[in-house]
Structure 1
């Protein structure tokens, strides 16, 4: 009989915890093998991770640059609150380096 009360309690706990998760706000766009940020619009293929803070995004990008095995370290952008708009274009509220 104890199982009847345990399952609803577990499900309720999981439901409550799911409301506590937060979506990452920063998206890392990394462009290896180049010295300048490309002029074309943002591409999903250039996404290299999602982060809670700008500092986390920048640290990851700097680590990728250090590990780069090409003659150029590459460049990056961290996009804040990125999403795909009604025209299927990837846009961010702000971009930082």
Structure 2
């Protein structure tokens, strides 16, 4: 009984420490400078290129990806993104 209690306490402690990332990086590397190819209303889950705890982390990763692509590409950070039945993304907030 004591062993079972310890296992349950351990599982609860582990699950309490996990937190899902709040920001999703949506990045398209093939965008020419000046174009804005990202159409938020048509984005699907596979457009996400990473998950981050803060907006700053998400922005920095997007900027780094743009530099690696030679300043081509477009990115947006979405807050609390979820998909609907059609697989389209819906985010509470979007930021570049």
TM-score bracket, shorter-length normalisation: 0.7 to 0.9
Q: Give 1:5 shift.
A: 5.2
C-alpha change, 1:62 and 1:30, in structure 2 (3 Å) is: same
What stretches of structure 1 of length at least 5 have no aligned partner? Answer: none
TM-score by length of 2: 0.78
TM-score by length of 1: 0.78
Q: Does 1:9 align with 2:9?
A: no
Moved over 6 A (4+): none
Give the root-mean-square deviation of aligned CA atoms.
Answer: 2.1
Three-state SS of the structure 2 residue aligned to 1:19 is helix
User: Match of 2:89?
Assistant: 90
Equivalent pairs, count: 92
What stretches of structure 2 of length at least 5 have no aligned partner? Answer: none
Higher Rg of the two aligned structures: 1
Match of 1:25 among 15, 22, 27: 22
Q: Give 1:28 shift.
A: 0.3
Contact 1:32–1:72 at 8 Å: present in 2 too? no
Q: Give 1:32 shift.
A: 0.8
